Structure 1
Amino acid sequence: MSQRQAPAAQKKTALILVGVVALMVSLSFAAVPFYDWFCRVTGFGGTTGVAETESHNMLDRRITLRFDASLAAGMPWEFRPAVPEMQIRIGENGLAFYEAYNPTDRAIAGTASYNVAPYSAGGYFVKVHCFCFEQQVLQPGERVSMPVSFYVDPSIMDDPEGRLLKEITLSYTFHVTDLPAGQADAGGAAASTAAN
């Protein structure tokens, strides 16, 4: 290789490496939305389904639903399910409540992440309305009751694993998030009812 060809080869190699780095960065940003879409479509990792309307097909078989609540590190709220478990029929529209309390002297915003266990039930557990769809803001000393309406899709009976399930656990974890602009002194929590 002549000295004249060496810089051209180095320039080509540098361009290829820059292209590879740009591709890797692009793929890393695309991975999160792709993974989220994949989980929602398949129920992978306990991701629940979401529907705009309630179920209209109810089966005679009953299933136990357990409700779990936890707080991420640094979240000072108190958070718990109003009732730890209930039994419903598959396809029946259920309504559960979680309670949150802000014991601090400042407004705190939170967002709930959620999943379903066992993971194989995720695609069959369908939420219609949920406090987890929106950020919640609790004022100092505020206590709220937050609803989640749901049903277990009757198609779970067509799944060889799903038809054997006797119970499903719905878990929420609240994380601190930034207060929306102008919300520091606003009263109430979005999509919640105060229970002072």
Structure 2
Amino acid sequence: GSQKGLMLPPGLAFIALSDKAWARCEAVPASNYYFQLKGEREKIARNQTMFTSAVGLLLGLRESMRLFREFGLDNVLRKQWALTMMARAGVSAMGLELLAPTDFTWGLTAIKMPLGVDGSAVVRHAAKAFGVTLAAGQGHMKDQVVRLGHMGHVDFGDVLAGLAALREAFTACGGYTGCPDPLEQAMAAYTQALASGCPEC
């Protein structure tokens, strides 16, 4: 969603159709008024939209794209990789288990809570005690996982604050981490990842 790496509020989505899909849209009569791609395409050709546009989201998107162009895509990817390596190193240094040890996303680190530690309680404590927003897991993993986001307009200081709040909240909620320097290890991983670059760059 647009609330992720594009740094916007939720609510903006993009649709792309192949020529074959457009031909199908042309051939099938609309079954409702709201989601008519054919009608929307006709309006766009006249510089209009079928419904009131989310102008604020579109203006925000323009600014996000300007920032991406100004910073450069390679630099954005390098920074995201470094923040990911930082978060993962900090979590691992605390002795916590990564939900995805391999094949992980670059925008979020999901941490499995050990038995006896309620992930939702960790999230609440981090918010109340430190003003840091972490997220609990979803569905059946709601209380078993804590998520630390690091996408969009986030920098190393934000990730350090998230890791520090995670460590303190985890301990306050009954967890134990014996590592004296997870933040230092996280910062070292960030510096190394920035220097070596990301695998996709």
TM-score under structure 2 length normalisation: 0.22
Q: Of Structure 1 and Structure 2, which has the larger fraction of its residues in helix?
A: 2
Q: Of Structure 1 and Structure 2, which has the larger fraction of its residues in strand?
A: 1
TM-score under structure 1 length normalisation: 0.22
Bigger Rg, which one: 1
